[in-house]
Amino acid sequence: MNNFIDVILPLPLAARYTYLLPDILEQVKPGCRVIVPFGAKKYYTAIVVATHVNEPVGYQVKEVLDVLDKEPVIISEQLTFWNWIADYYLCTLGEIYKAALPSGMKLESETSVEYNVNYEASSQLLPKEQLLLDLLSDNKEQKITKLEKDSGIKNIMPVINSLLRKGALFIKEGLRNNYKPKTETYVRLAKPYNNEETLNILLNDLKRAPKQLSFLISFLDLSGYTGLGERQGLLKKTLFENGISSSSFVALKNKGVLETYSLVIGRLNKDEIETKEAHALNLSQNIAYEEIRNVFQSFNVCLLYGVTSCGKTEIYIHLMQQIVSQRKQVLFLLPEIALTTQITHRLRLVFGNKLGIYHSKFSDAERVEIWQKQLSSTPYDIIVGVRSSIFLPFKKLGLVIVDEEHDGSYKQQDPAPRYNARNAAIVLAMQYHAKVLLGTATPSIESYYNTQIGKYGLVTLTERFQEIRLPRVEIVDCKELKRKKYMKGPLSPVLIEKIKEALVNKEQVILFQNRRGYAPFVECKTCGWVPKCKNCDVSLTYHKGLNQLTCHYCGYTYRLPDKCPSCEGVEFDKCGFGTERIEDYVSEIFPEAHIARMDLDTTRSRNSYEQIISDFSEGKVDVLIGTQMVAKGLDFDRVHVVGILNADSMMNYPDFRSYEKAFQLMVQVSGRAGRKNKQGIVVLQTKDADSPLIKLVETNDFPKFYDWQLSERQLFQYPPFYRLVYIFIKHHEDDILDSLSYTFAERLRKIFGNRILGPDRPPIARIQMLYIRKIVLKIEINVSMKAVRDILAKEKSDLLKDARYRSALIYFDVDPV
């Protein structure tokens, strides 16, 4: 009887695919990886989701080429979770698989294979294996498809996989190194000399080669040789750290006296870390802690609404200790990689090696090893990570903490799956019967609404740690100052004076400007020409350090021309202020101050985040200038002044959430001031000082802000009263896109009625050479998303059958933020 398997491929395909498992291959379990052919000449690593004996009818089934795992690398809870994400976020299982696993766990036919020049065969290779190594000896890096053609081996993937396991090959995927285990080389006595009789004969023979004799005696001493038949291995680098000659080692290795071998050591930290007791909670923290525990008796989800610097992290630590003591696991989600530096330092002091970290700034190899450790018998008790951490395997999850739960960074934008990690984490926790704690100083409208209707529990913490008062907010009317010509640059006289006072008092300053680069756009002084991106409908941002114009949507770069291509004028205005220009401006006013900048341009590497935060924490930096990165949960003792340079750019964005996001950002960045010792000062610069939003930020009155926004949301049928689905349609030709989008909208209106809005051109209507239209679906909360998915998928499929529209791209964004 034939055995068949159903698999998921790492491709945007909704269907499962069935393959025949040949008798020569081992039986496979759901959750294991297999190599399968797909299409004419493609191979992929697929995930097995089912095994059965039902042969498909109507087509010839292809065979599995190789089985990669004896035990599942995807557990059943993960597959259940993937299915929920696919149904709710209107995407495919293939898209989830591609996003969930580190690339080192996905071998594909387009992968390049690289010969390991340090490989030493411990046994004779099979003929096919030797043939591949011979082909790679001249050209040490080739694609698998080329190797298959040159070698004539029809089923090449098992051969490739065998050489990978033996360490003879490395693999690369695109420009990223795929996973290869980290190893260290050890030295030991060859087997013939591993007894006293032959060893004594050898020592006598080596008297004629005194350097080799001295080396061997040193090796035996360092390796702890006992003569009891055990071959003691010694780390190769330890030999040479002791000043031993490498030439003697090579000579003894060539004689067959010593041999080398490799051991996988992994990249994860195994050193013992000295831990300390967690800080005792103060009275208000302890009350909140006990309230959370009581809430968890009745609710699965609790919102901890605590003002900035109230000590939420200490409460988290005590809850984690309770869960770990019950032999359960904790997932601690953060919105930004930048936050992990400070948080992990505090958590390591308490939990030591029980703590694992997982985010995209880690190498792919490190992420593979964390994944493997979570599947082992000794997984991390606590994982700290960003949104992708929800895809890790957990065997005994007991608590999920979502810090800064309001943050938009929890929402994946592109590519699919476009999930919200906060909401998905709640569903993940439900599968394990675990609890969820959402923590924030500025709750999202949806989460706070859920506490008011009895869906979530609520605990509030209104006192700052050590009873430090919330910062005093000073509103500066920039419109009036600029009219009177008192303010020419990005800093008002009031803010300049506050910075000066802080620097005199050896205090620190944070300046917040939510726009990177030097200037948002450049304009010809003569004719007004503005350089635009050739791929997108946006002006190019000027970056002074690189002396180039850059598109922040597609990455297109363009050198600032010497003269205007429109009128040949030679003078250009740099309009507006990005963080780079503000850095220059502050340097001119305060030349003695040490200034740092924290934005995407200065934090591209993993270590750059840590260095900037470390320097600021240690007082090496006086003024930190940054984008929204500086607003998110960072804890600095000596920050006295915070400047919000342009509140209007946040308030005036064309989106129904613009006021919510602006309020959250301004309150959060204000919370960086005066966290220790004394009350801080926030200087909020705006051209609309009478705005109700500015007044609410000044008083930090979230309940009043919530009531105001909730009434508008209900009136205009927005979340939390309705669910939104944005339907994006893209095409290279604008007229075809118009026809397609209007046709799609009309078809949907026949089903959903006035729940459909659009199609409309978004504010940026062309990105990466693709024109864009957006249709909005407002759907009642109680409607099944699976039913909506089925309707949208059918209508999309029917439309794309039309030859005119086949090259169009259509995708769905559920619960956009």
Ranges of each domain in the chain = 3-101, 112-176, 183-264, 283-467, 472-517+577-712, 520-575, 722-814
At residue 113, the 3 state secondary structure works out as strand
Is-contact 646 489, C-beta < 8 A?
no
**pLDDT number for residue 342:** 77
The pLDDT of residue 177 = 33
Task: Please report, for the chain, how many H helices and E strands are present, in that order.
Answer: 25, 35
Q: Classify residue 716 as exposed, middle or buried by CB count within 10 Å of its CB (0-12, 13-18, 19+).
A: exposed
CATH topology of domain 472-517+577-712: Rossmann fold (3.40.50)
What does the alpha-carbon distance between residue 117 and residue 168 come to, in Å, rounded to a whole number? 8
For every residue of 529-584, DSSP letters joined together read: ---B-SSSSSBPEEETTTTEEE-TTT--EEEPPSS-TTT----EEEES--HHHHHH
Right CATH number for 3-101 from 3.40.50.300, 3.40.1440.60, 3.40.50.720, 3.30.420.40? 3.40.1440.60
Q: Report how far residue 480's alpha carbon sits from residue 687's, in angstroms, rounded to the nearest whole number.
A: 8
Residue 344 CA to residue 356 CA, distance in Å, equals: 9
CA–CA dist 742, 748 (Å, integer): 10
- The Cα 495–Cα 501 span in angstroms is 10
From residue 734, give the alpha-carbon distance in Å to each of 299, 756, 766, 770, 801.
50, 22, 9, 9, 19
**Bridge partners, residue 304, by sequence:** 439, 459
- Alpha-carbon distances of 1 from 20, 22, 48, 92, 640, rounded to whole Å: 11, 11, 19, 32, 75
SS3 148: helix
Q: Pick 283-467's CATH classification: 3.40.50.620, 2.40.50.140, 3.30.930.10, 3.40.50.300.
A: 3.40.50.300
Q: Which residue, among 398, 236, 227, 256, has the nearest Cα to 320 in the 3D structure?
A: 398
Considering the segment(s) 722-814 as one domain, its CATH architecture is 2-Layer Sandwich (3.30)
Question: Measured between alpha carbons, how far is 730 from 735 in angstroms, rounded to an integer?
Answer: 11
State both tokens at 18.
Answer: 């069935």
Euclidean distance between CA atoms 384 and 338, whole angstroms = 12
| Residue-level pLDDT at 172 | 56
Residue 746 is predicted with a pLDDT of 97
Q: Is the dihedral of CA 298, 302, 305, 308 positive or negative?
A: positive
Q: What are phi and psi of 676, to 5 degrees?
A: -135, 150
Concatenated DSSP letters of 726-737: EEEEEES-HHHH
Distance CA 643, CA 682 (A): 6
Any idea of the CA torsion for 325, 331, 334, 337, to the nearest 10 degrees? 100
Strands (E), 144-257: 169-173, 176-177, 183-189, 234-235
Establish whether domains 3-101 and 283-467 are of one fold.
no
Are 193 and 199 contacting, i.e. CB atoms less than 8 angstroms apart?
A: yes
What's the half-sphere exposure (Cβ side, CA atoms, 13 Å) at 631? 26
- Any idea what DSSP says for residue 673? S
Structure tokens at 620: 């090496």
Q: 105: which DSSP letter?
A: G
pLDDT at 174: 37
The stretches in the chain having pLDDT less than 50 are 173-179, 267
pLDDT score recorded for residue 276: 83
CA pair distance 512, 662, nearest whole angstrom: 13
Cis peptide upstream of residue 759 (ω within 30 degrees of 0): yes
What are the distances in angstroms from CA 352 to CA 338, 345, 357, 362, 365?
20, 10, 12, 19, 22
Q: Residue 41, SS3?
A: coil
CA 4 to CA 375: how far, in whole Å?
A: 26
